[in-house]
Structure 1
Amino acid sequence: MATYEYRCQQDGSFDTTLPIGTAGTAARCPRCGGPAARVFSAPRLTRTPTPLRHAIDRAERSAETPDVVTRVPARHPVGWSSNPAHARLPRW
């Protein structure tokens, strides 16, 4: 589902949620019933989940100023599972 924005000459803007690709160039205003033209606007990126937004920001920053390391990071031991079925798994 996608949110489409329409603007009525009398009542102003309103949003309609429709399946992607099914929105017409005009719709009926829910207040007055008159014709409303479709408005093309920027996607609502503010609804992007916070972890995804942070990942995108990190990726964009790394293109301009990548993180520089001065040594190989220490290897941290992986925690052992208390599940007995995991005891048979190979260790490296």
Structure 2
Amino acid sequence: MPIYEYSCPGCDVYEVIRGMGAAPAEDACPTCGQPARRRISAPHLARTGTAAFQLIDSTERSASEPRVVSGGLPSPGRGATPTYTTNPLHQKLPRP
């Protein structure tokens, strides 16, 4: 359900939750009863808890505050490749 904002000339701005397209251009103020006009406002589309927002936030933060890496450099050269099969015919296959 969308939230509509109304501005009362005697009071302040208040919000009303109504169905989509069911909000009239004028509404009675709940405090003083005067007619209040509906305001045009920006929709609240941001969802700050989503993974996409967290990714954007961490990317922006890493531009000025890079993470400190703890640990040594990787060893030079490649280690022994693991054996996936014991079939001797597989050992004759070309390696990438």
TM-score normalised to structure 2 length: 0.52
Cα 1:8–1:52 change in 2 (3 A) is farther
* Aligned-partner residue type, residue 45 of structure 2: L
Bigger Cα displacement from structure 2, 37-46 vs 13-22: 37-46
| Residue aligned with 2:50, SS | helix
Cα 1:55–1:5 change in 2 (3 A) is same
Could you list the runs of 5+ residues in structure 2 that have no partner in the other structure?
A: 61-96
Match of 1:30 in 2: 30
RMSD: 2.4
Q: CA deviation at 1:53?
A: 5.1
Which is richer in strand?
Answer: 1
Which is richer in helix?
Answer: 1
* In 1: Cα distance, 2:3 partner to 2:52 partner: 20
* Aligned-partner residue type, residue 31 of structure 1: T
Larger Rg: 2
CA contact (8 A) 2:5 2:39 kept: yes
* In 1: Cα distance, 2:16 partner to 2:26 partner: 11
Aligned pairs (5 A) from 1:31-70: 31-46=31-46, 48-51=47-50, 54=53, 57=56
CA distances 1:16-64 after superposition (whole Å, capped 9, x unpaired): 0000110010000000011000000001235x25115517948xx9xxx
Match of 2:12 in 1: 12
Could you list the runs of 5+ residues in structure 1 that have no partner in the other structure?
A: 62-92
